[in-house]
Chains A and B, each alone.
Chain A
Amino acid sequence: MSGDLPVLETRRLHVGFGSTEVLKGISVRALPRRVTALIGPSGCGKSTLLRCFNRMNDHLQGFWRRGEVLLEGREVHDPGLPLEALRFQVGMVFQKANPFPLSIRENVVFGPKLAGVTSASTLEQTLQTSLQRANLWEEVKDSLGRSALQLSGGQQQRLCIARALASSPDVLLLDEPASALDPIATAKLEETVLELAEQVTILLVTHNLQQAARVAGRTAFLYLGQLVEEGETESFFSAPREKLTEEYITGRFG
Chain B
Amino acid sequence: MSALRSFLAEGTAQRWLTGAAVLLSLGMILGLVLVVVEVAGSFFWPHPLVELELEDGSRLLGEIWDREPDPRAPGTQRVRIKVGNREVLGADFRWVRDASVRSRREPADAWLLERREYGNFFGFPERLESSDRRSEATSPDFAAALEDEVRAAGRLLDEDRGLRRKLDRLHAPVARLQARVNGALARGEQATALQAQLAEAQRREAEASLPLVQRLGEVHDLAGRARLIMRMAGGGEKAIVVSNIVRAVPPNALSTGARLTVYLDRWWEFLSGEPRESNTEGGIFPAIFGTALMVMLMTLAAVPLGVVTAVYLNEYARDNAFTAAVRLALANLAGVPSIVFGAFGLGFFVYTVGGGIDRLLYSDALPTPTFGTGGILWAALTLALLTLPVVVVATEEGLQSVPQAVRDGARALGATRWQTLRRVVLPYATPGILTGAILAVARAAGEVAPLMVTGVVKLAPTMPFDTTPPFLHLDRKFMHMGFHIFDVGFQSPNVEAAKPMVYATVLVLLVLVVVLNMAAILLRNRLRKRLRGAAV
Q: Do chains A and B touch in the complex (CB under 8 A)?
A: yes
Q: Could you tell me which residues of chain B, from 387 to 415, have a CB within 8 Å of some CB in chain A? A: 403, 405-406, 408-415
The CA-CA distance from A101 to B423 in the complex, in Å, is 10
- Whether A94 and B414, one on each chain, are in contact in the complex, defined by CB atoms closer than 8 angstroms, is no
- Whether A97 and B416, one on each chain, are in contact in the complex, defined by CB atoms closer than 8 angstroms, is no
Choice from A61, A111, A156 contacting B414 with Cβ under 8 Å:
A111
The CA-CA distance from A92 to B534 in the complex, in Å, is 20
In the assembled complex, B318 has its CB within 8 A of some CB on chain A: yes
Q: Could you tell me which residues of chain A, from 65 to 98, have a CB within 8 Å of some CB in chain B? A: 83-88, 91-92, 94, 96-98
- Whether A84 and B403, one on each chain, are in contact in the complex, defined by CB atoms closer than 8 angstroms, is no
The CA-CA distance from A183 to B415 in the complex, in Å, is 33
- Whether A167 and B414, one on each chain, are in contact in the complex, defined by CB atoms closer than 8 angstroms, is yes
User: A59-B411, A61-B318, A149-B534 known; A101 and B406 CB under 8 Å?
Assistant: yes
Choice from B403, B414, B419, B423 contacting A88 with Cβ under 8 Å:
B414
Contact with B along A160-182 (1 / 0, CB 8 A): 10011001000000000000000
- Whether A98 and B405, one on each chain, are in contact in the complex, defined by CB atoms closer than 8 angstroms, is yes
In the assembled complex, B535 has its CB within 8 A of some CB on chain A: yes
- Whether A167 and B411, one on each chain, are in contact in the complex, defined by CB atoms closer than 8 angstroms, is no
Contact with B along A137-154 (1 / 0, CB 8 A): 000000000000100000
Contacts of A111 in B (CB 8 A): 413-414
User: A110-B423, A149-B533, A149-B534 known; A98 and B415 CB under 8 Å?
Assistant: no
User: A110-B423, A114-B419 known; A98 and B409 CB under 8 Å?
Assistant: yes
The CA-CA distance from A22 to B413 in the complex, in Å, is 25
- Whether B403 and A110, one on each chain, are in contact in the complex, defined by CB atoms closer than 8 angstroms, is no
In the assembled complex, A117 has its CB within 8 A of some CB on chain B: no
Give B190 Cβ to nearest chain A Cβ, in Å: 66
Q: Could you tell me which residues of chain B, from 422 to 436, have a CB within 8 Å of some CB in chain A? A: 423-424, 427-428
User: A61-B318, A94-B409, A100-B406 known; A84 and B415 CB under 8 Å?
Assistant: yes
In the assembled complex, A115 has its CB within 8 A of some CB on chain B: yes
In the assembled complex, A56 has its CB within 8 A of some CB on chain B: yes
- Whether B415 and A114, one on each chain, are in contact in the complex, defined by CB atoms closer than 8 angstroms, is yes
Chain B binding site: helix, strand, loop or mixed by DSSP? Answer: helix
The CA-CA distance from A100 to B408 in the complex, in Å, is 10
The CA-CA distance from A61 to B404 in the complex, in Å, is 14
User: A61-B318, A101-B534, A114-B419 known; A56 and B411 CB under 8 Å?
Assistant: yes
User: A94-B405, A96-B535, A149-B534 known; A56 and B419 CB under 8 Å?
Assistant: no
- Whether A100 and B419, one on each chain, are in contact in the complex, defined by CB atoms closer than 8 angstroms, is no
Contacts of A86 in B (CB 8 A): 414
- Whether B414 and A84, one on each chain, are in contact in the complex, defined by CB atoms closer than 8 angstroms, is yes
In the assembled complex, A54 has its CB within 8 A of some CB on chain B: yes
Interface size counted on chain A using CB atoms at 8 A:
30
- Whether B408 and A94, one on each chain, are in contact in the complex, defined by CB atoms closer than 8 angstroms, is yes
Choice from A56, A99, A156 contacting B408 with Cβ under 8 Å:
A56
Contacts of B405 in A (CB 8 A): 94, 96, 98
Contacts of B534 in A (CB 8 A): 101, 149
Choice from B318, B412, B535 contacting A92 with Cβ under 8 Å:
B412
User: A94-B408, A114-B419 known; A101 and B414 CB under 8 Å?
Assistant: no
- Whether A110 and B410, one on each chain, are in contact in the complex, defined by CB atoms closer than 8 angstroms, is yes
| Shortest Cβ distance from B405 into A: residue | A98
| Chain B contact patch, size range | 20 to 34
Give A142 Cβ to nearest chain B Cβ, in Å: 23
User: A61-B318, A101-B427, A101-B534 known; A160 and B415 CB under 8 Å?
Assistant: no
Contacts of A97 in B (CB 8 A): 535
Give A152 Cβ to nearest chain B Cβ, in Å: 12
User: A98-B405, A110-B423 known; A84 and B416 CB under 8 Å?
Assistant: yes
User: A96-B535, A114-B419, A149-B533 known; A87 and B410 CB under 8 Å?
Assistant: no
- Whether A98 and B535, one on each chain, are in contact in the complex, defined by CB atoms closer than 8 angstroms, is yes
- Whether B535 and A91, one on each chain, are in contact in the complex, defined by CB atoms closer than 8 angstroms, is no
Give B408 Cβ to nearest chain A Cβ, in Å: 7
The CA-CA distance from A83 to B413 in the complex, in Å, is 10
Contact with A along B275-307 (1 / 0, CB 8 A): 000000000000000000000000000000000
Give B532 Cβ to nearest chain A Cβ, in Å: 12
- Whether A56 and B535, one on each chain, are in contact in the complex, defined by CB atoms closer than 8 angstroms, is no
User: A98-B405, A98-B535, A101-B534 known; A56 and B318 CB under 8 Å?
Assistant: no
Contact with B along A196-209 (1 / 0, CB 8 A): 00000000000000
Contacts of B427 in A (CB 8 A): 101-102
The CA-CA distance from A28 to B63 in the complex, in Å, is 95
Contacts of B406 in A (CB 8 A): 98, 100-101
Give B69 Cβ to nearest chain A Cβ, in Å: 65
Q: Could you tell me which residues of chain A, from 100 to 126, have a CB within 8 Å of some CB in chain B? A: 100-102, 110-111, 114-115
The CA-CA distance from A194 to B413 in the complex, in Å, is 22
- Whether B408 and A98, one on each chain, are in contact in the complex, defined by CB atoms closer than 8 angstroms, is yes
- Whether B410 and A100, one on each chain, are in contact in the complex, defined by CB atoms closer than 8 angstroms, is yes
Contacts of A149 in B (CB 8 A): 533-535
- Whether B413 and A167, one on each chain, are in contact in the complex, defined by CB atoms closer than 8 angstroms, is yes
| Shortest Cβ distance from A100 into B: residue | B424
Choice from A56, A61, A99, A156 contacting B412 with Cβ under 8 Å:
A56
Give B188 Cβ to nearest chain A Cβ, in Å: 66
Residue among A85, A98, A102, A149 with the highest chain B CB neighbour number at 10 A = A98
Give B6 Cβ to nearest chain A Cβ, in Å: 53
The CA-CA distance from A149 to B531 in the complex, in Å, is 12
- Whether B414 and A87, one on each chain, are in contact in the complex, defined by CB atoms closer than 8 angstroms, is yes
The CA-CA distance from A164 to B414 in the complex, in Å, is 10
On A, residues with C-beta under 8 Å from B are 54, 56, 59, 61, 83-88, 91-92, 94, 96-102, 110-111, 114-115, 149, 156, 160, 163-164, 167
What are some 18 contacts across the A-B interface (CB < 8 A)? A54-B412, A59-B411, A87-B411, A88-B413, A94-B409, A98-B408, A98-B409, A99-B409, A99-B535, A100-B406, A101-B424, A101-B427, A110-B415, A111-B414, A115-B414, A149-B535, A164-B412, A167-B414
Q: A88-B414, A102-B427 are in contact. List 17 more A-B contacts (CB 8 A).
A: A56-B408, A84-B415, A87-B414, A91-B412, A94-B405, A96-B405, A98-B403, A100-B424, A101-B427, A101-B534, A111-B414, A114-B419, A149-B533, A149-B534, A163-B409, A163-B413, A164-B412
On B, residues with C-beta under 8 Å from A are 318, 403, 405-406, 408-416, 419, 423-424, 427-428, 533-535
Q: 6 closest A-B pairs (Cβ-Cβ)?
A: A87-B414, A98-B405, A98-B409, A92-B412, A84-B414, A111-B413
